[in-house]
Amino acid sequence: MGEFEDPYGDDNESDEEIVETNDDEGMEIDEDEEETKHETYMPGKEMGENEVLVVDNTAYEMLHTMNVEWPCLSFDFLGDNLGVNRTTFPMTAYLVAGSQAEEQKNNQLYILKMSQMNKTKYDDDFEDDNSDDGLDDDPILEYKAIPHQGGINRVRVMPHPESHIVATWSETGKVNIFDITSAVKSFDVPGVMVNPKNIKPMYTVNAHGRAEGFALDWSKAETGRLLSGDINKHIYLTNPTDSSFKTDIQPFTGHQSSVEDIQWAPKEKNVFASCSADQTIKIWDARAGKRNQLNVKAHDTDVNVIHWNQTTEFLMASGADDGIFKIWDLRQNFGSNNTAPVASFKWHTAPITSIEFHPQDSSMLAVSGADNQLTLWDLSVERDVEEEKNINSDVQDIPPQLMFIHQGQEDIKEIHWHKQLTGVIGSTASDGFNIFKTINSQ
């Protein structure tokens, strides 16, 4: 597993996924005697006194870790001009992340470039036919840090082919919009010099008052439209003008508790969804006033996150405080009294913290929880009762749709698929970032 070696970030300890058993600790053992025993670890299994978790690098095509000065609750990948559907190594990715510093005045908006990310080397005989030379080269991390007033609850990048506009949800109750285009260019364009301390918000949404929030999303169908939802149940729409932005005076109202997440419909300019601690998901149309059009009691606990499938527009995923996540078909009486999910999964043992469909494969889903698991699911897989009769009893309780469990991070907060690096996932947690690609992700 690669760790970023650079003068700005701290090294992070290796991820942990396999139980390594050594019952002969303290005894002298000849090298030719029995090798260390390994077994697959499943979440919830009790570990022995002399057992430790170690990462199984053979399960990953690529696995890298990195740290910045302060942990980050949220991040988003930045688009680049290096090509789409990239699969060759070494890989390069850009992202923006928001800090949670101990003191409000010390917070920063990080702009990161991760390059020279090679395929994971897991043994001495490792050979790679899909990579340039230099497998042993360390990955490179470069960054810029923009001062930010208040801890950053959520970061979202505006979809745009050329510029890099970023919105941040601050714990101070303000939503700030930054143009970081010059800072991103400074990584790659000779002669572009940028002092990050001079980058200030180009616009600030003050409509929320002192109420902070987490719900934030840019429209993909109409550039520059931004929605923000707060803990006081309000959702505000900010629209672009010729030279700046303007926020509506009146909010969208309807939720009875904190608005936890918000999502624009992938191809609709005015339709969006929101979820709340009031246990509901609501569908809105910005053309039809400030009240919701559809309403569903989606979970029995707080609904923390939702995600609208980007390729199959009638599918939506939601995750709740009780660890349950559900899949909804918006065509099947959504909003009626008999609305029911098309699938419901109870694998995670703590609140769902992030959920996201694969950007190209509508059946693939990534989910993270406060149980320190990041799971990958293939919703196209169906249960085969006959085949299950021959399955080892240790894995009979595993849903057939569960493809992968990534562990080793503490308190995972947010996950994203990279839209241009095929099958690559990023995650942020209290102990840093992971960026990886599993052997079974496409």
pLDDT in tens, 64-101: 999 999 999 999 999 999 999 999 999 999 999 999 99
* Dihedral class, residue 155 (left if φ above 0, else alpha if ψ from -120 to 50, else beta): beta
Query: Do the Cβ atoms of 66 and 113 come closer than 8 Å?
Result: no
Residue 61: pLDDT band (50, 70, 90) is: very high
Residue 25, pLDDT above cutoff 50: no
Structure tokens, 83: 């090509």
Q: Rounding to the nearest 10 degrees, give the CA dihedral for residues 377, 383, 388, 391.
A: -10
Mean pLDDT in residue range 234-238: 98
Residue 10, pLDDT above cutoff 50: no
| Cα(75)–Cα(111) distance, integer angstroms | 10
| Cα(285)–Cα(272) distance, integer angstroms | 7
Mean residue pLDDT of the chain comes to: 89
Residue 39, pLDDT above cutoff 90: no
Query: Whose structure tokens read 């899949």?
Result: 327
Nearest CA among 268, 297, 303, 270 for reference residue 284: 270
Mean pLDDT in residue range 259-279: 98
State which amino acid sits at residue 283: I
| Cα(154)–Cα(174) distance, integer angstroms | 11
Residue 421, pLDDT above cutoff 70: yes
| Cα(412)–Cα(96) distance, integer angstroms | 17
Query: Whose structure tokens read 């850009």?
Result: 94
Residue 20, pLDDT above cutoff 60: no
pLDDT in tens, 128-184: 555 554 455 789 999 999 999 999 999 999 999 899 999 999 999 999 999 999 999
User: What pLDDT is attached to residue 41?
Assistant: 77
Query: Do the Cβ atoms of 106 and 70 come closer than 8 Å?
Result: yes
What is the DSSP code string of 409-421?
A: -SSEEEEEE-SSB
User: What pLDDT is attached to residue 93?
Assistant: 98
Helices (H) and strands (E) in the chain, counts: 2, 32
| Cα(46)–Cα(142) distance, integer angstroms | 40
Query: Do the Cβ atoms of 274 and 264 come closer than 8 Å?
Result: no
User: What pLDDT is attached to residue 335?
Assistant: 93
Out of 50-59, 61-70, 92-101, 188-197, which region has the weakest mean confidence (pLDDT)? 50-59
User: What pLDDT is attached to residue 22?
Assistant: 42
* Dihedral class, residue 311 (left if φ above 0, else alpha if ψ from -120 to 50, else beta): alpha
Enter the pTM of the model: 0.89
Nearest CA among 264, 342, 307 for reference residue 415: 307
Q: Is the dihedral angle over the CA atoms 18, 442, 262, 315 positive or is it negative?
A: negative
Mean pLDDT in residue range 305-323: 98
Mean pLDDT in residue range 348-376: 98
User: What pLDDT is attached to residue 384?
Assistant: 65
Mean pLDDT in residue range 47-74: 90
Backbone φ and ψ for 58, nearest 5 degrees, come out as: -70, -15
DSSP 339: -
Residue 387, pLDDT above cutoff 80: no
Q: How many CB atoms lie within 10 A of CB 426?
A: 22
| Cα(390)–Cα(292) distance, integer angstroms | 49
Nearest CA among 424, 437, 439, 420 for reference residue 79: 420
| Cα(236)–Cα(248) distance, integer angstroms | 7
| Cα(439)–Cα(59) distance, integer angstroms | 6
User: What pLDDT is attached to residue 21?
Assistant: 37
Mean pLDDT in residue range 280-307: 97
- Helix H, strand E, coil C: the string for 249-266 is CCCECCCCCCEEEEEECC
User: What pLDDT is attached to residue 382?
Assistant: 87
User: What pLDDT is attached to residue 397?
Assistant: 80
Residue 45: pLDDT band (50, 70, 90) is: confident
